Amino acid sequence: MRANLVCGTLCLTFFAGIRVAPAKDWFTGPDGVSTGAGTREAPWDLASALAGRKEIAPGDTVWVSGGICKGKFEVKLAGKEGAPIHVRAVLGERATILDSGIVVVDPATYVWLWDLEIAGSVPVEKRETKQTGSSPGDLPGADGLNIYAGKGCKFIHLTIHDNVKGGMSWWLNSTDGEIHGCIVYGNGWRAPDRGHGHCLYTQNKDGVKTVSACIFSVPYDGQYTMHAYGSSRAFIDNFLIEDNIAYERGPFLVGGGSPSHGIRVLRNYLHGIDMRIGYGAQNEDCEVRDNIVARGRISIEKFKKVVDEGNVRELPARKAILIPSKYDPARAHVAVYNGAKAPAVDLDVAKLLKKGERFRLLAPRDLWGKSVLEGTCSGPTISIPMTGEFAAFVLLKERKAP
């Protein structure tokens, strides 16, 4: 079992005569307590572990057992470059942060959050207020994930949904990080002026922020899927935004009131929404390449230097795209365009599956539910069942037993 759990654990090594201690596995869970031993049998509570227990060192992994955790969750763990601290759901277990959200604050650095579910329990139809603006006082509830600090942090395969006050926010003091493979849907609220709370609200100045291989959708008109935006006093610089899927509603925006530079938007797959690069300011440079935007527009506004190549602005008749995870060889996201209204579209799975390997195809909003399709791979393609002109999926390869 331990072979399944260990993620990047280091062996004893010697360098220049100095002995380096092995990384450790610690355990937390819904029934854990701060006075526990941090073992599988006597876990810590999640809040005290995230707050920076002194036992947790760079390179260690904090495993989160399945179940529901509630409370105040502030991440203050400090890893190092080349030895991040991993906080990860135990493989095969559903670890849920409910109605609480997670906040990443100083002195957090080089922390990787994996595989957690960050969810709210208030149904979409009950999230309405008569107050306008971004901070209504009559809607109790948490954001999904707020990232205020941390160099080199990564947020991998998080499922963030149905949080009253929004999905993810990622601010200036967090640098050189990545959001990868997250599924963000159903967050936010409706006000008299419009829907509020976006999939991702972000700004950046120094270093590069990477947003990759995510699946985004929002429930209300007026919300945004990608909202890299700010006023004339904010910074929208140095973004790499690639291989994301966004659909249903909510513009995909990168731009603000101050000049932007270093914007790269590559191989994103949109349906029914617009891609807007630039917003108001006279900007410097952008690269917008190989995106598919069906039933929407691509606008690139006021850039001095533009690369606009390979972008498709029409609905493909039959096209399925596999987006393998960079961090898990058993996972990929899938976007399927079906302008021909065919009952199925073939997907090339050679980058994920070999002949004889079993797989499951799941709806992004039902990762722990019934498969849309499952079986054994018999060749380089599988046939994806379709009922409309667009769909997104999660494709999982069955893991081998240790």
| Separation of alpha carbons 44 and 48, rounded Å | 7
Last residue in a domain, options 273, 288, 309: 309
| pLDDT tens per residue, range 110-163 | 999 999 999 999 988 889 898 887 778 888 778 899 999 999 999 999 999 999
Q: Is the pLDDT of residue 13 over 50?
A: no
| Residue 339: band (very low, low, confident or very high) from pLDDT cuts 50, 70, 90 | very high
Asked if pLDDT for residue 16 goes beyond 70, the answer is no
Looking at the fold, whether 196 and 260 belong to one and the same domain comes out as: yes
Whether residue 232 is found in the same domain as residue 253:
yes
Q: Quote the DSSP letter at residue 128.
A: B
Let me know whether 273 and 377 are in one domain: no
Instruction: Give the Å distances, CA to CA, from 94 to 6, 30, 72, 232, 338.
Output: 18, 11, 19, 42, 32
State mean pLDDT over 205-221: 97
Q: Which pLDDT score is estimated for 143?
A: 87
In this structure, the answer to whether residues 277 and 255 fall within a common structural domain is: yes
6, part of any domain: no
**For residue 388, what are the domain limits?**
319-397
In a domain, 124, yes or no: yes
Q: Among 88-92, 139-143, 218-222, 281-285, which is the least confidently predicted range?
A: 139-143
Q: What is the mean pLDDT of residues 170-176?
A: 98
The pTM score is 0.93
60 in any annotated domain: no
Note whether 127 and 100 are within 8 A (CB).
Answer: no
Confidence of residue 32 (pLDDT cuts 50, 70, 90): very high
Domain boundary among 284, 309, 334: 309
When pLDDT is cut at 50, 70 and 90, the band that residue 8 belongs to is very low
Residue 154 placed within a domain: yes
If one counts the domains in the chain, the total is: 2
User: In angstroms, rounded to a whole number, what is the distance separating the alpha carbons of residues 186 and 61?
Assistant: 30
Kindly give, in sequence order, each residue whose CB lies less than 8 Å from that of residue 101, ignoring residues fewer than 6 positions away: 73, 118, 142, 143, 144, 145, 146, 163
**What percentage of the chain exceeds 70 in pLDDT?**
94
Supply 217's token pair.
Answer: 């959708």
Q: Give a yes or no: residue 14 inside a domain.
A: no
Confidence of residue 402 (pLDDT cuts 50, 70, 90): low
3-class secondary structure, 116: coil
Same structural domain for residues 229 and 357?
Answer: no
C-alpha dihedral (263, 290, 269, 103), degrees to nearest 10: -30
- Give mean pLDDT, residues 185-213: 95
Of the chain, the percentage scoring pLDDT greater than 90 comes to: 86
- Same domain? For 146 and 214 the reply is yes
The answer to whether residue 88 sits within a structural domain is no
pLDDT exceeds cutoff 60 at 363: yes
Residues 305 and 370 in one domain: no
Spell out the residues 6+ positions from residue 349 whose beta carbon is closer than 8 angstroms to its own. Answer: 322, 332, 359, 377, 380, 381, 382, 395
Distance of CA 180 to the CA centre of its chain: 5
Flag whether 364 is in a domain.
yes
Average pLDDT for residues 165-185, to the nearest whole number? 97
Using the structure block, give the residue that is written with the tokens 């990080």. Answer: 177
Q: Which two tokens stand for residue 55?
A: 């036992």
Nearest to 333 by CA among 245, 206, 274, 257: 245
Sign of CA dihedral 146, 76, 42, 155: positive
Task: For residue 380, count other CB atoms closer than 10 A to its CB.
Answer: 14
Let me know the angle formed at the C-alpha of 137 by 142 and 95, rounded to the nearest 5 degrees.
10
